[in-house]
Amino acid sequence: MRVRCTPAMLWTGLGISVLAGAASKTLEFVNPSAPGLHFGINFYGPLYIVANAIAFHFCRKICTDHRDPSTMHLAWMLMAASCVTAIVRHGYEWTTYLLGWHDKPLLASVVSLRQIPTVLAMVFMTAGLVAMWSSFAAIGLGVRFRWRDAILPLVIVALAAADLSHRQNMWDARSAAYPLMRYLQMLSPVSLAVPALLGLVLQRISREMRGGQFADFLRYLVWSLLLRLASLLTTFSPELREVSVIAIAGTAAFWAAPWLFALAVLRRWRITESLSEMAELYERDPEEEFAKLARKTVHG
């Protein structure tokens, strides 16, 4: 039996993730010694794997719709690679958690190896976004900026700098055997800020598009990138971690981010599906379709 993935399913997944993230963080504030709390806090791992697997599936499908070689084909290949490395990262993290390695200081260095797929996923994502932007830029979209477009990038740079100042609080700073892992995690605010900055360029493109389904997809993509960065700030900053409302909201955002990305990719795939259906209709009965189009246009 084939299950057709719908936006409603992904919204449900996102809702469950947000609720589970918020509930586990709330419980941590209310009763830090509650049984099963640690399991609940780490349960984002399997949810991330599911969301990334869905996103990977649709990235591959979109990729096959683009001519090979082409810049957009490369962009979606890189996005798919980013999803796969994210799955590897969370699979590794979840496995080490289930094996109880997170509680053993001697194994902290082994656990810290997750930084390799983490950074790789962001590198692939960044490269994919650059490739996507260059495709739009080739037709003249996303190449003109105004001064007010600089405001949000400055906010993002400030957020990344704030995250960097808390690098000693990062979990894998304990990695004694692999100093590289420490440096890789210290870089994580930067590796999240760069895609978020590129996301703002895509946001500019979505405005230049002036409406349409494609602009909606870009907006979802941008929000997922910004959400990742914002949630990182609340995770690393000790001051914000102590403010329950912010910590709960930050955790919920962190759990929601991959689902929002999957929703963006699904929206993009839906555009391809609808274009294919329309092409068939125009092939079958062009007269009827143009008459419908003319009527729709005249009615406004």
Q: Where do contacts with other proteins occur on this chain (CB under 8 A)? A: 62, 65-67, 70-72, 135-136, 138-141, 208-215, 271-276, 278-279, 282-283, 286-287, 289-291, 293-300
Assigned token pair, 162? 């704030």
14 membership: H or E segment, kind and range: helix 7-30
Rounded to a whole number of angstroms, the minimum distance from the CB of residue 7 to other proteins is 17
Nearest residue to 234 via CA among 256, 264, 259: 256
The sign of the CA dihedral 57, 59, 62, 67 is: negative
Six-digit token pair at 105? 């200081």
Decide whether 127 or 170 has the Cβ nearer to other proteins: 127
Of 171, 242, 251, the residue nearest 29 (C-alpha): 242
Q: Could you list the beta-strand ranges (E) of the chain.
A: none
Measured from the CB atom, the residue of 2 and 295 that comes closer to other proteins is 295
Instruction: Output the smallest distance, CB 148 to other proteins, in A.
Output: 18
Report in angstroms how near the CB of residue 121 gets to other proteins at its nearest: 24
Q: How far is the CB of 55 from other proteins (least distance, A)?
A: 17
Closer of 73 and 90 to other proteins (Cβ):
73
Min dist CB 81 to other proteins, Å, is 18
In whole angstroms, how close is the CB of 140 to other proteins at the nearest point?
5
Q: Which amino acid, residue 76?
A: W
Closest to other proteins by CB, 55 or 192 = 55
Nearer to other proteins (CB atom), residue 165 or residue 276: 276
Which amino acid belongs to residue 49?
I
| CB nearer other proteins, residue 18 or residue 80 | 80
CA dihedral 219, 149, 152, 78 (to 10 degrees): 50
With respect to other proteins, which residue has the nearer C-beta, 248 or 266?
A: 266
Nearest approach in angstroms of CB 137 to other proteins is 10
Q: How far apart are CA 250 and CA 276, in angstroms?
A: 39
Give the other-Cβ count within 10 Å of 198's Cβ.
21
Nearest Cα residue to 50 out of 220, 265, 259, 192: 259
Torsion sign over Cα 99, 101, 106, 107: positive
